[in-house]
Amino acid sequence: MPFYHQLGKIPHKRHTVFEKPTGGLYYEQLFGTEGFHGMSSLLYHVHRPTMISHVGQSIDVAPKAAIDKNISPMMLQGWNMAPKADFLESRTTVLFNNDLNIALAAPTESLRSYFYKNADADEMLFVHKGTGTLRTFVGNIPFSYGDYLVIPRGMIYQIDFDTPDNRLFIVESFSPIVTPKRYRNGFGQLLEHSPFCERDLRRPSALETHDESGEFVIKIRKENVIHEVVYTSHPFDVIGWDGYNYPYAFSIHDFEPITGRVHQPPPVHQTFEAHNFVVCSFCPRLYDYHPKSIPAPYNHSNIDSDEVLYYVDGDFMSRNHVDKGFISLHPGAYERSIGQKETGELAVMVDTFRPLKVTQAAVDLALAGYDKSWL
């Protein structure tokens, strides 16, 4: 994130001796993703963060295309994805390309038996159902329905769920997920016309510091392989840190829609961006107020884009017969919107600038005959 945050105890100056009260030193670590160039944080560990006991098994989790070059509109019934106990095993990729993976998950148990680090991608976890706490080595973030959890790559975390009934919509981005550039000034501050601001972003709090030795399993995803690495100290041993690289939460309910006399194009709903894709939030809002306005999106030919809409809640004006958890690629419903004054819909859109490949899991969730539903 482009603003400074600090938790716990840190020394007055960087790269200087930081002594433990009981003797010895805390161990400084620069946590970033682009060497010494990108956003980073300085972490101070009780133990050396490099003490590997051994490396266990590795599992290939690369998504595979059932449809490599797709041209048909599709509607996926996302909540038909069967729940699974394990957090990682429940994550099922349905669409992907070289820039991102789009996945669904319905974990029934908290991630407690191991730690997880995605070294391939920034993660955006949208919480469609469930409450709990994201626990990381730089602090914890409570979450609930409608929260986006943005987790930078390399972040070591666990996740606690309050109940077994959870549904997540996940985007794994192979480039940093950031706020839209046009809503930021030259210093990174969100501008006055942005649909949200810094006070809407919930940063980590309640830093956990564990001074424990033993065997601690971290499952690390790197180059589409999950490696099991065992460390001899607890990963959550950070006594303090400061910087710009950390996870945060943003509630879709805090997004303030931009409206106008005539229909506003989808970019006004943009919430995040990364290389070759954007994420938008469609929230309850007043419709266009020109007397002859057509509130539904006009037909738009996105030759270079695939448009994915994840339906969350409310009455989805843009398409008939849509239910919670559906995922679609579709043109929209035109006439039904005329005369409507407002919408209560809640949805997340991912617009990619390269075609998406379709996995077998997506084919299994697809609604038969959807491509002919406009006839």
The pLDDT value recorded for residue 300 is 61
Domain membership of residue 189 (yes or no) is no
pLDDT band at 21 (very low <50, low <70, confident <90, very high): very high
Residue 372 corresponds to which tokens in the numbers above?
A: 């002919």
The pLDDT value recorded for residue 332 is 40
Domain membership of residue 195 (yes or no) is no
Max Cα distance, the chain (Å) = 76
Domain membership of residue 336 (yes or no) is yes
Q: Which domain holds residue 299?
A: 252-372
Domain membership of residue 357 (yes or no) is yes
Arithmetic mean of pLDDT, 70-98 = 95
Rounded distance, CA 93 to CA 65, Å? Answer: 10
The pLDDT value recorded for residue 335 is 45
Arithmetic mean of pLDDT, 46-65 = 96
Candidate ranges 36-50, 113-127, 245-259; pick with highest mean pLDDT: 113-127
pLDDT band at 320 (very low <50, low <70, confident <90, very high): low
Domain membership of residue 98 (yes or no) is no
The domain that holds 365 is classified in CATH as: 2.60.120.10
Domain membership of residue 51 (yes or no) is no
Q: Higher pLDDT residue, 99 or 295?
A: 99
Q: Could you report the per-residue pLDDT of 143-196, keeping only the tens digit for each? A: 999 999 999 999 999 999 999 999 999 999 999 999 999 999 988 899 999 999
Q: Could you report the per-residue pLDDT of 184-217, keeping only the tens digit for each? A: 998 889 999 999 999 999 999 999 999 999 999 9
The pLDDT value recorded for residue 338 is 53
pLDDT band at 260 (very low <50, low <70, confident <90, very high): confident
Rounded distance, CA 34 to CA 303, Å? Answer: 32
- When the pLDDT of each residue in the chain is averaged and rounded to a whole number, the result is 90
Residue 351 corresponds to which tokens in the numbers above?
A: 């617009």
How many independent structural domains does the chain possess?
1
The pLDDT value recorded for residue 117 is 98
pLDDT band at 70 (very low <50, low <70, confident <90, very high): confident
pTM of the model: 0.92
Domain membership of residue 340 (yes or no) is yes
The pLDDT value recorded for residue 68 is 87
Domain membership of residue 346 (yes or no) is yes
Long-range CB pairs of 27-35 (<8 Å, 24+ gap) are 31/138, 31/154, 31/241, 31/243, 31/245, 32/245, 33/152, 33/153, 33/154, 33/176, 33/245
Q: Could you report the per-residue pLDDT of 324-375, keeping only the tens digit for each? A: 999 987 534 444 455 566 677 899 999 999 999 999 999 999 998 888 876 7
42 phi and psi angles, rounded to 5 deg: -100, 120
The pLDDT value recorded for residue 305 is 81
Residue 189 corresponds to which tokens in the numbers above?
A: 């501050």
Arithmetic mean of pLDDT, 106-133 = 98
Q: Higher pLDDT residue, 2 or 268?
A: 268
